[in-house]
Amino acid sequence: AAIIEIENLSKQYRGGTKALNDVSLTIEEGEIIALLGPNGAGKTTLISIICGLVVPTGGAVRVGGHDIATDWRAARRLIGLVPQEIALEPFETVMNSVRFTRGLYGEGSDDAWIGQVLRSLALWDKRDTPTKELSGGMKRRVLIAKALAHRPKVLFLDEPTAGVDVALRREMWQVVEQLRRDGVTIILTTHYLEEAEEMADRIGVIDRGRLLLIKPTAELMGEFGKKT
Which residues make up the interface to ligand ADP (CB under 6 A)?
13, 15, 17, 19, 37, 39-45, 79-81, 83, 87, 100-101, 104, 146-147, 149-150
> For ligand ADP, which is the closer residue by CB, 40 or 222?
40
Q: Hey, which bits of 30-111 come out as E strands?
A: 32-36, 58-63, 66-67, 79-82
Question: Toward ligand ADP, which CB reaches closer, 151 or 170?
Answer: 151
Closer to ligand ADP by CB, 2 or 86: give it: 86
DSSP E strands, the chain: 2-12, 18-28, 32-36, 58-63, 66-67, 79-82, 154-157, 185-190, 202-207, 210-216
Shortest CB 12 distance to ligand ADP, Å: 9
Residue 130 per-residue DSSP state: B
How far from 7 is each of 18, 27, 50, 58, CA to CA, in Å?
Answer: 17, 12, 11, 9
Least spacing, CB of residue 92 vs ligand ADP, in Å: 9
- Measured from the CB atom, the residue of 15 and 183 that comes closer to ligand ADP is 15
Smallest gap from residue 205 Cβ to ligand ADP (A):
11
Minimum Å distance from CB 77 to ligand ADP?
9
With vertex at residue 29, the alpha carbon angle to CA 26 and CA 35, rounded to the nearest 5 degrees, is 50
Rounded least distance, CB 32 to ligand ADP, Å: 18
Closest to ligand ADP by CB, 15 or 225: 15
In this structure, are residues 161 and 143 in contact, taking their beta carbons and an 8 Å threshold? Answer: no
* Cβ atoms of 118 and 96 closer than 8 Å: no
Q: 192 by DSSP, 3-state: which?
A: coil
